[in-house]
Amino acid sequence: MADFFHMGGYAGYVWSCYGLTLVVLLGNLWFARRELDSQVLRATRRAQVSTIPGSTTSENAS
């Protein structure tokens, strides 16, 4: 098990690459989700405003 983490002396290089990959993959996923959530929220608000009787403009919602 210690051998596995040691990576034949290349531990720092190998594990930093895998760690970096994990960070970038998770970050990418998170950024996309956060952007989608904010767009969904905006669209939902706009939809609510436009369904209120009397309000004809949906532009005000943003």
Partner 1 sequence: MWLWFYKLASPPYAYAVAAKLRPWLLWSAIALMIVAAYGGLVIAPPDYQQKDAFRIIYVHVPAATMSLSVYVVLAVAAGIGVIWRIKLAHAVAAACAPIGAWFTVLALATGSIWGKPMWGTWWEWDPRLTSELIQLFLYLGYMALRSSFDDTQRADRASAILAIVGVVNVPVVKYSVVWWNSLHQGPSISKLGAPSITSDMLWPLLTMMLAFMLYFAAVLCDRIRSEILKRERNASWLSGVMSTRAVGT
How many CA atoms within 13 Å lie on the side-chain side of 62? 5
Give ∠ CA 18-19-22 in degrees, rounded to 5.
85
Binding track over 33-52 against partner 1, x by CB under 8 A: x-xxx-xxxxxx-xxx-xx-
Interface with partner 1, residue 26, by CB under 8 A = no
Binding partner 1 by CB under 8 A: which of 2, 4, 53, 54?
4
Cα–Cα distance, 6 to 1 (Å, whole number): 9
Q: Which amino acid, 39?
A: Q
**Residue ranges binding partner 1 (CB under 8 A):** 4, 7-10, 13-14, 16-18, 20-21, 24-25, 27-29, 31-33, 35-37, 39-44, 46-48, 50-51, 58-59, 62
